[in-house]
Amino acid sequence: MQELKITMLGASGVGKTTLLTAMYEQFESNIGKTNLQLTPDDESAAILQDRLIELKSLLDVFEARGRMGIQGTEAMAGPESLRSFSFGLGRKGEVPSLNLRFYDYPGGYHATQAAKEEKEFVKTILRESTAVLIPIDAPSLMEKSGKFHEKINRPQQIKALFNAAYQDLDSPRLVIFAPVKCEKYLQNNKTAKELLEKVKQGYAPLVDHFNSPSLNPWVANVITPVQTVGSVIFSRMEVDSVNNPHFYFRKTRHDARYSPIDSEQPLRYLLRFLLKVHLESRQWSFFNFLRDWFELDTHLKKAVDEFARGCKTNGSFAVVKGEKWLNI
């Protein structure tokens, strides 16, 4: 089966694994309403299901501690042993015809002190991925005038990675900024717009880089906030004696349940992008698989089109650049 790679990109603790888990959970309920079907392989399902149980149970113990904690991602035997998560995508009731492989690595891999092979690993998957999903810790960006944005989200490290990985690009790529832990800011339109502006400001050097002559033709960049928990909102930040921020959250209600919102939006944008790339019908070897995928099955193409038309563009959602790769 043809395969497409997607990488989660971000510093340790920003929420890569939590976002992937929320996406997994919502694929079922949301994509299920369409004529598409996304089926995880057994091992991916087992691991994500464990993360999901962990997330849900954390919500129960949450009130006592005011914060949640799921395990950081680890690869015991080095990058090569790292798990990826695979989902078959196809028409409902049919054998999946395309494989989406998500890479979720430990954020420490691109920290200054990371081993060379770890840094190389991230660079390679970044280069090979059709789409990149960057979870952004929203409170760091929004609270105390964004004072902790650099420290928590590491935008400069991310820019350096793109610098190294996106050289001599000759086909399109999709970069998705996904603010998470953002429930508080999406309660009204004013703060939602503010979040949008802060994301643009906080990643302006990276977007400038995407606008450079060699990358500008190829990079599409969107912002899709995802409420990965839904029922937990930021309440306050404390800064300790060594200037490390600690974030405290609260449940919206005592009996609030895990209820992620918009976690299928990145996938809608990805499919929209794939459809558009296909419609351009230029011959990029990187996208050869699309021809078979779409052309052999017009019903699938229609289903993708319908799903892709559900991309949100209001509030904090926006296409930052590369609109031409998303106009369908």
Binding interface with ligand GTP (CB under 6 A): 10, 12-18, 68-70, 72-73, 106-107, 180-181, 228-229, 232, 249
Position 7 contacts Mg ion (CB under 5 A): no
Q: Which two tokens stand for residue 187?
A: 């309660």
Q: What are phi and psi of 292, to 5 degrees?
A: -60, -45
Q: Which two tokens stand for residue 293?
A: 């995928």
The CA R_g of the chain, rounded to the nearest whole Å, is 19
In the bound state with ligand GTP, the residue whose beta carbon lies nearer, of 90 and 155, is 155
Residue 217's binding partner, choosing from Mg ion, ligand GTP, none, with beta-carbon cut-off 5 to 8 A by kind? none
Residue 12's binding partner, choosing from Mg ion, ligand GTP, none, with beta-carbon cut-off 5 to 8 A by kind? ligand GTP
Q: Least CB distance from residue 222 to ligand GTP, whole Å? A: 19
CB 1 within 8 A of CB 90: no
Cα–Cα distance for residue pair 127/53, rounded to 1 Å = 33
In the bound state with ligand GTP, the residue whose beta carbon lies nearer, of 105 and 273, is 105
In the bound state with Mg ion, the residue whose beta carbon lies nearer, of 16 and 276, is 16
Q: For Mg ion, what does the binding mask look like between residues 241 and 280, x meaning CB under 5 A?
A: ----------------------------------------
Q: For Mg ion, what does the binding mask look like between residues 60 and 99, x meaning CB under 5 A?
A: -------------x--------------------------
CB 35 within 8 A of CB 306: yes
In the bound state with Mg ion, the residue whose beta carbon lies nearer, of 17 and 30, is 17
In the bound state with ligand GTP, the residue whose beta carbon lies nearer, of 32 and 69, is 69
Q: Which long-range contacts (CB under 8 A, 24 or more apart) does 200-204 make?
A: 200/320, 201/146, 202/136, 202/141, 202/146, 202/149, 202/153, 202/155, 203/155, 203/158, 203/177
Residue 68's binding partner, choosing from ligand GTP, Mg ion, none, with beta-carbon cut-off 5 to 8 A by kind? ligand GTP
Position 17 contacts Mg ion (CB under 5 A): yes
Q: H or E element: which one contains 6?
A: strand 2-8
Q: Which two tokens stand for residue 101?
A: 């492989």
Q: Least CB distance from residue 104 to ligand GTP, whole Å? A: 7
Q: H or E element: which one contains 116?
A: helix 116-128
In the bound state with Mg ion, the residue whose beta carbon lies nearer, of 68 and 279, is 68
Chain-centre distance for alpha carbon 46:
20
Q: Least CB distance from residue 283 to ligand GTP, whole Å? A: 37
Residue 69's binding partner, choosing from Mg ion, ligand GTP, none, with beta-carbon cut-off 5 to 8 A by kind? ligand GTP
Listed in sequence order, the residues at least 6 apart from 120 whose beta carbon sits closer than 8 Å to its beta carbon are none
Q: H or E element: which one contains 248?
A: strand 245-251
Q: Least CB distance from residue 233 to ligand GTP, whole Å? A: 8
In the bound state with ligand GTP, the residue whose beta carbon lies nearer, of 86 and 228, is 228
CB 302 within 8 A of CB 17: no
Residue given tokens 């979040």 in the structure block: 195
Q: Least CB distance from residue 245 to ligand GTP, whole Å? A: 13
Binding to Mg ion (CB under 5 A): which residues in 178-207? none
DSSP line for 200-233:
HHHTHHHHHHHTSTTTTTTEEEEE---BSSSSEE
Q: Least CB distance from residue 35 to ligand GTP, whole Å? A: 30
Residue 14's binding partner, choosing from Mg ion, ligand GTP, none, with beta-carbon cut-off 5 to 8 A by kind? ligand GTP
In the bound state with Mg ion, the residue whose beta carbon lies nearer, of 16 and 154, is 16
Chain residues binding Mg ion by CB under 5 A are: 16-17, 73
